[in-house]
């Protein structure tokens, strides 16, 4: 019997062949070599498996192509951009908030140059990384002082561990929430070294419930915004304004985890009212925490604002070092916050706010433009494109009941599997993430930007070709 193993190409020969060589110009040698070895090994296995000679020859003929494909794939970043057609504006799985080009330039300048991150340019001595944000955050929120950490979960942990370690913290039962699976108030409390004292019932908590629980071991009163769920019907909870009465009477610090942390009253734009950070500070809350990448529309951070005496203690807590934010984040946050000096600019320039407040006219206009672009390129009786009214969501565990009226492009397929089509949209080189509902594919124009229209058209063409022949 003929020794087919002798047919296997040599690694070095492949590496130097015309069809492979150029890969080395832009792909690390190791990745090209690995790809060559894997593909040779695959053929070796086939020879061992006694595949016919014709097949082996064909495999060897195609090996360049396979090596190229494998090496290029491995050379791509795993974290990549996608098109969010889901209509969920603050989509945690898709990266929550976007930042605009202007802010990106800011980050790029800081990232590619040295900066005064921890350097005081006045005195020429060591400075604090938080100092760059102190003025802008206190000015916008009305708080005395601030510290910014990696995310809001870290913020809550830092606050509790600084203020209430070894003491009791009183929280309403209706506010013992879980956010995004891993963040649960009782567990964060335990981590911080504070003891959770839950008061009231699931649907009703009164001021007297808090007051009855106060004793000499009480370290703080905690109010948690039930961001991602609502208790409806026969309910009552105690507002931080009311809690402030107890704070004064017993001199116990009042902490509030606001979750989203809006800085402008969004009810003006037809979105359900969410308590603003400024209001909490005004009501006398000692320490407020909130996320940077939810309704604020900035980078991932947890912002802590409040009385100087507590913030100063937090700066000395070793956890602060572990939770510290990097320079890109500080740069992005500072630039995002500056928009808030002018509410109109904030609404127009911060992508999250822009998408949330987008008018129906604008969405409708965009929908028609995209529909036309698609129809120009794809004319096939197997695929219908129409426009439907639908609802977008805020997302990010914010405003769970809010339904934002929107328009969607809806794709209906005649002779192919909708599921397979949706799959292929996700496999496009810029993945397109859509909503699948009742065997139709929805593209919500609220979260789709004009510059993404061409990608969507190409993605549809790609998916259409790929899905041909795959039946319902
Ligand atoms: C989202 C949220 C958190 C967690 O914030 P991250 O920035 O995601 O860490 C904590 N508390 C509340 C009330 C939230 O809504």
Angle at 401 between CA 398 and CA 407, to 5 degrees: 95
Residues 180 and 324 reside in one and the same domain: yes
- So what's the pLDDT on residue 234? 83
Mean pLDDT over 184-196 rounds to 94
- Average pLDDT for residues 432-439, to the nearest whole number? 96
> Which residue, by CA, sits nearest to atom 2 of ligand 1?
259
Determine, yes or no, domain membership for 221: yes
Residue 227 pLDDT exceeds 80: no
Would residue 274 count as lying in a domain?
A: yes
With a 6 A CB cut-off, is 152 part of the ligand 1 pocket?
yes
Tally of helices (H runs) and strands (E runs) in the chain: 19, 18
Residue of 283, 287, 312 whose CA lies nearest to 302: 287
Q: How far apart, in Å, do the first and last CA atoms of the chain sit?
A: 47
Task: Please check whether residues 170 and 293 belong to one and the same domain.
Answer: yes
Do both 194 and 151 map to the same domain?
yes
Quick: pLDDT tens for 119-156. 999 999 999 999 999 999 999 999 999 999 999 999 99
Q: Give the tens place of pLDDT for each residue, 6-26.
A: 999 999 999 999 999 999 999
Q: Tell me, what's the pLDDT at 181?
A: 67
pLDDT range class, residue 291, cuts 50, 70, 90: very high
Residue 193 lies in a domain: yes
For ligand 1, the distance from its centroid to the CA atom of residue 292, given in whole angstroms, is 10
158 with 214, same domain? yes
Percent of the chain with pLDDT over 90: 88
Look at residue 397 and tell me if it is in a domain. yes
How many CB atoms are located within 10 Å of the residue 233 CB? 5
* Ligand 1 in reach of 397 Cβ (< 6 A): yes
Within a domain: 62: yes
Strands 178-179, 125-126: pairing kind:
unpaired
Query: Is the whole model's pTM more than 0.85, yes or no?
Result: yes
Best of 179, 297, 396 to mutate for ligand 1, by most ligand atoms within 8 A of CB? Answer: 179
Ligand 1 atom at shortest distance from the alpha carbon of 92: 8
Distance 327 CA to ligand 1 centre (A): 22
Contact assessment for residue 286 and residue 254, using Cβ atoms and an 8 Å cutoff: yes
From 313, 331, 349, give the residue that closes a domain: 349
Give me the domain span that covers residue 60: 4-73
Q: Is 395 part of a structural domain of the chain?
A: yes
Question: Is the CB of residue 179 below 6 angstroms from any atom belonging to ligand 1?
Answer: yes
* Contact 97 CB / ligand 1 (< 6 Å): no
Give yes or no for residue 399 having a pLDDT over 90: no
pLDDT of residue 402: 82
- In the structure, what pLDDT confidence band is assigned to residue 439 with cuts at 50, 70 and 90? very high
Is 111 in the same domain as 212?
A: yes
> Looking at residue 380, what is its pLDDT?
86
pLDDT of residue 231: 76
| pLDDT over 90 (residue 286) | yes
**Structural domain total, the chain:** 3
Q: How far apart are CA 24 and CA 30, in angstroms?
A: 9
**For the segment 148-165, what is each residue's pLDDT rounded down to a tens digit?**
999 999 999 999 999 999
Residue 78 lies in a domain: no
Please compute the mean of the pLDDT values over residues 91-117 and round it to a whole number.
Answer: 95
The atom number, within ligand 1, closest to the CA of 177 reads: 13
Evaluate whether residue 128 is within a structural domain.
yes
Mean pLDDT of the chain: 94
Same domain, 298 and 393: no
Residue 229 clears pLDDT 90, i.e. is over it:
no
Same domain, 339 and 369: no
Please give the DSSP secondary-structure letter assigned to residue 287. E
Residues 263 and 170 in one domain: yes
257 lines ligand 1 (CB under 6 A): yes
């Amino acid at each position: 019997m003929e020794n087919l193993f002798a047919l296997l190409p040599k690694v070095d020969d492949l590496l130097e062949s015309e069809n492979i060589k150029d890969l080395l110009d832009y792909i690390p040698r190791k990745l090209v070599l690995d790809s060559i070895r894997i593909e040779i090994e695959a053929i070796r296995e086939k020879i061992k498996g006694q595949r016919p000679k014709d097949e082996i020859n064909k495999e060897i003929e195609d090996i360049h192509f396979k090596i190229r494909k494998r090496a290029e794939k491995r050379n791509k970043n795993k974290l990549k951009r996608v098109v969010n057609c889901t209509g969920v504006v603050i989509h945690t799985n898709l990266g929550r908030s976007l930042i605009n080009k202007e802010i990106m330039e800011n980050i790029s300048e800081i990232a590619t140059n040295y900066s005064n991150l921890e350097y005081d340019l006045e005195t020429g001595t060591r400075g604090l990384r938080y100092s760059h944000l102190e003025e802008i955050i206190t000015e916008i929120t009305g708080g005395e002082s601030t510290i910014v950490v990696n995310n809001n979960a870290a913020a809550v942990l830092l606050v509790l561990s600084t203020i209430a370690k070894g003491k009791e913290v009183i929280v309403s039962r209706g506010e013992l929430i879980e956010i995004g699976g891993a963040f649960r108030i009782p567990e964060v409390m335990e981590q911080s070294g504070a003891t959770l004292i839950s008061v009231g019932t699931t649907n009703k908590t009164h001021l007297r419930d808090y007051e009855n629980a106060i004793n000499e071991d009480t370290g703080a009163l905690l109010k948690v915004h039930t961001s991602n769920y609502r208790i409806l019907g026969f309910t009552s909870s105690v507002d931080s304004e009311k809690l402030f009465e107890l704070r004064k009477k017993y001199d116990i610090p009042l902490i509030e985890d606001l979750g989203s942390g809006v800085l402008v009253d969004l009810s003006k734009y037809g979105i359900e009212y969410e308590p603003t950070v400024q209001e909490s500070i005004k009501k006398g809350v000692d320490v407020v925490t909130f996320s940077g990448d939810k309704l604020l529309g900035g980078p991932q951070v947890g912002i802590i604002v409040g009385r100087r005496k507590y913030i100063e203690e937090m700066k000395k807590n070793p956890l602060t070092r572990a939770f510290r934010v990097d320079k890109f984040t500080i740069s992005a946050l500072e630039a995002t916050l500056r928009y808030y000096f002018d509410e109109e600019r904030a609404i127009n320039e911060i992508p999250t706010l822009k998408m949330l407040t987008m008018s129906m006219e604008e969405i409708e206009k965009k929908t028609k433009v995209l529909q036309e672009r698609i129809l120009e390129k794809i004319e096939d009786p197997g695929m219908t494109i129409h426009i439907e009214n639908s609802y977008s969501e805020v997302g990010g565990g914010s405003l769970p009941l809010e339904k934002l009226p929107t328009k969607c492009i809806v794709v209906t397929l005649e002779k192919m599997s909708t599921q397979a089509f949706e799959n292929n949209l996700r496999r496009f080189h810029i993945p397109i993430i859509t909503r699948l509902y009742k065997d139709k594919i929805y593209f919500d124009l609220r979260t789709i930007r004009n510059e993404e229209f061409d990608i969507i058209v190409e993605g549809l063409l790609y998916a259409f070709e790929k899905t041909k022949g795959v039946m319902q």
